[in-house]
Amino acid sequence: MTRFTVNNQPVEYRLDPATPLLWALRDASNLTGSKYGCGTGHCGACTVDVDGAAVRSCRVAIGSIEGSFVTTIEGLSRERNHPVQLAFIANNVSQCGFCIPGFIMAAAALIKKTPDPSEEAIRRTLTNICRCGIYPRVVEAVQLAARATRGEEIIAAGARPDIDPADAARAVPALVPVK
């Protein structure tokens, strides 16, 4: 059994210690915000925060993080008002949205370690892959989030007020074909 903390909740996984963290989070904890993209750690869709560092969860065995603190996109901010989340909304970063949780988690970890990251540092650190090509907006959003975190700027964007955060995480029902 492997024990660590996920989104401020102690958990004990009765899984093989070699199980990738991504699958423990998605399958055992139903935290599906972290995405499976490549399984090799290259794309970054599965990025989570482990003890303050951005980690590709598909490449980390749960047995290797015993006693650690893990934060997923679901635990970053219950109200979806973390400066990085707000900056991504304000800069219209998302297109298809698949890579966004990984980018947000990597950006939040970067800002935690480097409160005023340069454009070069952002590009060097956020190596996540986006097939839609959102990179320029990601850089702008991370810079905005860093300024907001330092108290230099207020981000006016926010989550849609007409959508309850609990409803936002629900799966969309399957479409029924028209006969």
Q: Any idea of the CA torsion for 75, 80, 81, 83, to the nearest 10 degrees?
A: 70
Q: Where are the alpha helices (DSSP H) in the chain?
A: 21-23, 73-76, 83-90, 100-113, 119-125, 135-149, 165-168
Cα–Cα distances (Å) from 97 to 35, 45, 92, in that order, read 11, 10, 11
CATH superfamily, domain 83-149, is: [2Fe-2S]-binding domain (1.10.150.120)
pLDDT tens per residue, range 69-124? 999 999 999 888 999 999 999 999 998 999 999 999 999 999 999 999 999 999 99
CATH of 2-76, one of 3.40.1190.20, 3.20.20.80, 3.10.20.30, 1.10.150.120: 3.10.20.30
pTM: 0.86
Rounded distance between C-alpha atoms, residue 40 and residue 132, angstroms = 20
**Domain residue extents for the chain:** 2-76, 83-149
